[in-house]
Structure 1
Amino acid sequence: MRVGGLQRWTSIDFPGRLAAVVFCQGCPWRCSYCQNPELLDARVEPQLAWEEVIAFLRGRRGLLDGVVFSGGEPLLQAALPAAMAEVRALGFEVALHTSGMYPQRLREVLPLVDWIGLDVKAPWHRLDALTASRDSASRVLDSLLQVLVSRVAHECRTTWSPELFPLEELHTLTEELSTLGVKRWCLQQCRGGTLPHPAPWRGDLALFAQRFESFEFRAA
């Protein structure tokens, strides 16, 4: 595993669990608003050896509930299934943050995962431009459908501001996700992005909440 960082404690990245976050180095997508640009280049020297992460986790048994594999894009790394299995063998639950770019690799790790946070970054027709990668939409949709039928607990997330795509398209995306069977959806404000005027925006948030069993808005 190429580890770009380790957050030793979090209560928000794995719902209902106290967890550590392993940040995996490398991501093939180039989203303009990336929150962790230092993790994009897979060739960067790892910040920690995987053995150091395991040593830390051994000392946190009974104190932490789980481990989150985030990124970057964790599924980029061929060593991920073995790393998840090793974490589970220590008694921890496992969460995965992914953008859904590797549906086949996702299929392989689903039996090892207790919770998934899946990014649906934009309406399908905009994904290639946003990620600077071809065939993004088909891969994300494949991953989403796998998650929905897997019965693994999950949440879909979309990062948005009007600079990325219009509010009308955000509504269309939420309708499509709800129709597909998404129950939990989180809207995240794009860091540095603006939001519509507060008065009508409250109405939009209320409509989003009606479309899902669980809805959360996270401001930047």
Structure 2
Amino acid sequence: MIRVGGMTPLTSIDFPGRLAAVLFLQGCPWRCGYCHNPELLPARAEVGIAWERVEAFLRRRQGLLDAVVFSGGEPTAQAALPQAIARVRAMGYRIGLHTGGMYPARLRLVLPLLDWIGLDVKAPEDYHDAVTGRRDSARPTFEALDAVLDSGVAYECRTTWHPTLYPAQALYRLADGLSARGVKHWALQECRDEGRARIAGDEVDLERLCAGFKSFCFRRG
């Protein structure tokens, strides 16, 4: 069954408007320098949570929690994701997914099972590989973005940024490109380094960034 590296039993911020549990799935092929869950990067780890324990917890929380969010790591890296989602959905939970979009074909398989998706768009295409540490990483992400926009599933696109990652002008280009592609909901998140918040909002014109979106938010820390 699916490999779970960690779990948050209760959160009000990972699925908009819902009380949720978050399952952090093991494994991610990218190596973003600001990753805040580096222990989840290896495909396998010695320490984890057995799926039977996860299901037992969720059965006990039926009627108390609204939703379960599959996060990571990168949840679509695991081929068993659709089966895990289906089992949780059968318990009556709404389903959220956090993804970087690196496996668009697998994402398409689970889109009909999702109620909400948070898609990380790391950078404009010409800076994407530098952020992820992997070649040709922009192509699957933007393919996944198009699939999300076509699906009708509620979503949020979000970007973590600091000027050491790429310049403000590139961030403006990304915002314009997302808006032109049809993105309506975008969040800009400040980058964190060694536990200290890097203040992206002091470096850019937030009014300029939000102009093309129905909803925009800037998240500190």
Same fold? TM cut 0.5: yes
1:197 Cα deviation after fit: 8.1
Distance 2:201 2:54 in 1: 45
Give 5+ residue unaligned stretches, structure 2: none
Distance 1:112 1:46 in 2: 28
Are residues 78 and 186 of structure 1, via their aligned partners in 2, closer, same or farther at CA, if it must alter by over 3 Å?
A: same
Match of 1:3 in 2: 4
Match of 1:29 in 2: 30
Residue 146 in 1 paired to residue 147 in 2?
Answer: yes
Match of 1:209 in 2: 210
Give 5+ residue unaligned stretches, structure 1: none
Match of 1:130 in 2: 131
After TM superposition, the structure 1 stretch with the greater mean CA deviation from structure 2, 38-47 or 162-171, is: 38-47
The number of aligned residues is 217
Distance 2:74 2:114 in 1: 15
Amino acid at match of 1:6: M
After TM superposition, the structure 1 stretch with the greater mean CA deviation from structure 2, 83-92 or 187-196, is: 187-196
Amino acid at match of 1:17: R
Match of 1:81 in 2: 82
The runs of 4+ residues in structure 1 deviating greater than 2 Å are 192-198
Distance 1:160 1:196 in 2: 6
Tell me the TM-score normalized by structure 2. Answer: 0.95
Distance 1:195 1:60 in 2: 37
Q: Deviations over 1:95-132 (max 9, x none)?
A: 00000000000010011111000000011111122212
Amino acid at match of 1:100: G
Identity %: 60
Matched residue SS, 2:42: coil
Amino acid at match of 1:179: A
Equivalences for residues 52-201 of structure 1 within 5 A: 52-192=53-193, 194-195=198-199, 198=202, 201=204
Distance 2:46 2:64 in 1: 30
Please tell me the root mean square deviation across aligned C-alpha atoms, in Å.
1.3
After TM superposition, the structure 1 stretch with the greater mean CA deviation from structure 2, 205-214 or 61-70, is: 205-214
Distance 1:39 1:105 in 2: 19
1:196 Cα deviation after fit: 6.2
Amino acid at match of 1:189: E
